[in-house]
Amino acid sequence: MGYVIEKEWYIIIQRHIMFVLIKYIKDLFFIILWLSIFYFSYLNLVSFKESEFNIISFVVIILLLHYAFIKIILYTVIYYYNLIIVFEDEFTIIKSSLILEVDIEVIDIYKIMKIDSYIRWLFPNIFWYWSIIIEQQKNDVREFHYISKPYSLLKLLKKQRNEFEAKK
């Protein structure tokens, strides 16, 4: 369900497991589709002997199957390497996919003006994953989807924001 590690001075939040399951379901559908096309092409290959079309279709189907499996592996890596870490004075977003990109963004707590969360439709209510909107100074708005247990994040950010306001 995504994990939340809560300590005294920081919190680590991972996205909800539904983030990756939705992508898995889509790719597994395509794997089943390509395997069924492969099977029916194989039946035709036996009846039509070896034609160039069937050989090319085999190669294309095999490549598409490998592509779908690679996407499933990359979705898993992306799921485990997308983290939100909230420290006492900053909000760090880490996005990494090992191969494609590494993005680390740090938002200072004092730049956060408003924190909002919402749930839409039936599945997020059933599986308990939310979206969080963080509005910063100068009209910068960040939206984070598939956040599990967002109340711990909202509670910590509100506490830190109040402490910062009290220090001013």
Q: What is the pLDDT of residues 22-46, one digit of tens each?
A: 888 888 888 888 788 777 777 766 5
- For 50-80, give one letter per residue: b (16+ CB within 10 A) or e: eeeebeebeeebeebbeebeebbeebeebbe
| Extents of the domains making up the chain | 1-168
Mean pLDDT of 53-65: 76
Mean pLDDT of 69-77: 84
> What is the CATH number assigned to the segment(s) 1-168?
2.30.29.30
Residue of 59 and 55 predicted with greater confidence: 59
**Segment 114-142, tens digit of pLDDT:** 878 888 878 777 777 778 888 888 778 88
Given a cut of 70, is residue 7 above it in pLDDT?
A: no
